[in-house]
Amino acid sequence: MGLQSKHKVDAAFSMSSMTDIIFLLLIFFMLTSSFITPSGLPVNLPSSETSDIIMQEVTVTVTKDLKFSVNDRVVSRDQIKSELTTLLKEKKGQVVLHIDKQVPVEYLVEIGGIAASLEANVSIATQPYK
């Protein structure tokens, strides 16, 4: 009398699907963390109620001692317009201004005006209220 089943269930657990999911999550977090890039020069940003993360194409940084940089490349104040012109030629781009909160507003207006004249979308980097 053979009452044994022909189909036996294997009680072993395969980890291959679990490792696939872990690697996919790892790749996802690596890609999304690269979208948040800090500026090259240390800047004390002003605070804002809404601090959105924007995909940065071009960043302009002004430190409190009035050092200017465009995409982590230190430039003089007179070179900003030519740098932005070469980076934004033939397309509308996104310019993010990283300006220290101790810098006079005239620099913000000047650089924002240059970027706006090149038909770029201008936004100001801020940090959220603590």
For residue range 81-104, what is the model confidence (pLDDT) as tens digits?
Answer: 888 888 887 677 888 888 888 888
E strands, 25-77, are: 47-48, 58-62, 68-70, 73-75
79 has pLDDT over 70: yes
Q: Looking at the chain, how many residues does it have?
A: 130
What is the average pLDDT score of the chain? Answer: 79
For the chain, domain boundaries: 47-128
Residue 8 confidence (pLDDT): 76
**Above 60 in pLDDT, residue 13?**
yes
Residue 45, token pair as written in the block: 């940003």
> Which token pair is 95?
């310019």
Three-state secondary structure call for residue 76: coil
- Compute the average pLDDT of residues 59-75: 87
Q: Provide the CATH number for the domain formed by 47-128 in this structure.
A: 3.30.420
Taking the whole predicted model, whether its pTM rises above 0.75 is answered as no
